[in-house]
Amino acid sequence: GAALATPYETVEDFARLSGIDVSGHQKNVDWGAQKKAGVKFAYVKATEGTSYRSPYFTQQYDGSYRIGMVRGAYHFARPDRASGAAQANYFLQYGGKWTADGKTLPGMLDIESSSADPYNRHARHREFVRIDTTYTIYSKLMRSLCE
C-alpha cells in the first residue's frame, strides 16, 4: 500500500522544528516576524502558582494561532506556595485546557529551582501531572463518546 503522508521526511527534520516560549516579559510579540524566522510553534505562559494569570496570555495565545502556528499553554510551578493539585486546577481554569483541533499542544509545566525542599517539590510536581493527565484523558474520552 501507499505510505502515509507525513510533514517531516526524517526524525532529524522533526528534531529541528523551531519553537519559542513567551510570557508577559515579551509583551506584544510580533508573530509575523516569528513566523518569517521559521518558528513553527509557541508555548505561552498562562499561570504561575495559584494567584498569577499572565495579562498577555490571551493576546499571545490567540496571536500565535492566527498566524498559523501550533500553540500551547504553560504553567510556571511554585511548589513552595501551593499544592500540585491546586496549581493544576488553577492552570486548567485559566488557559491550560487542551483541545483536539490539530493546532493546540498539551499543557506544559515549567519546573525551575525553588525554595521548596526536593522531596516536596517533586511530590507536588507529580501531583500536578496526575491532575493534568487525568483531565486530558477524561476530555479525550468524553469527546470520543459524544462524537
Alpha helices in 69-117 (DSSP H): 84-93
In angstroms, the CA 38 to CA 61 distance is 18
Strands 52-53 and 70-76: unpaired
Please measure the distance between the N-terminal and C-terminal CA atoms of the chain and give it in whole angstroms. 29
pLDDT at residue 49 in the model: 93
Query: pLDDT tens-digit profile of 37-82?
Result: 999 999 999 999 999 999 999 999 999 999 999 999 999 988 888 8
Domain boundaries, the chain: 11-146
The reported pLDDT for the residue numbered 114 is: 53
Q: Which of 21, 127, 132, 147 is catalytic?
A: 21
Residues 6+ apart with CB under 8 A from 10: none
Q: Is 110 a catalytic residue?
A: yes
Q: 62, 112, 127, 132: which is the annotated catalytic residue?
A: 112
Kindly indicate the confidence band of residue 12, based on its pLDDT and cuts at 50, 70 and 90.
low
The per-residue pLDDT for 84 is 83
- Give the position of cell 502558582: 49
- CATH code, 11-146: 3.20.20.80
**Looking at residue 9, what is its pLDDT?**
58
Q: Provide the pLDDT for residue 5.
A: 45
pTM: 0.72
- CA-based angle 141:44:103, to the nearest 5? 45
Which residues are registered as beta bridge partners of 70?
41
**Which residue is it, cell 491532575?**
131
pLDDT over 70 (residue 3): no
* Cell 483531565 found at: 135
13 in catalytic set: no
Catalytic residue among 48, 110, 127, 147: 110
21 is catalytic: yes
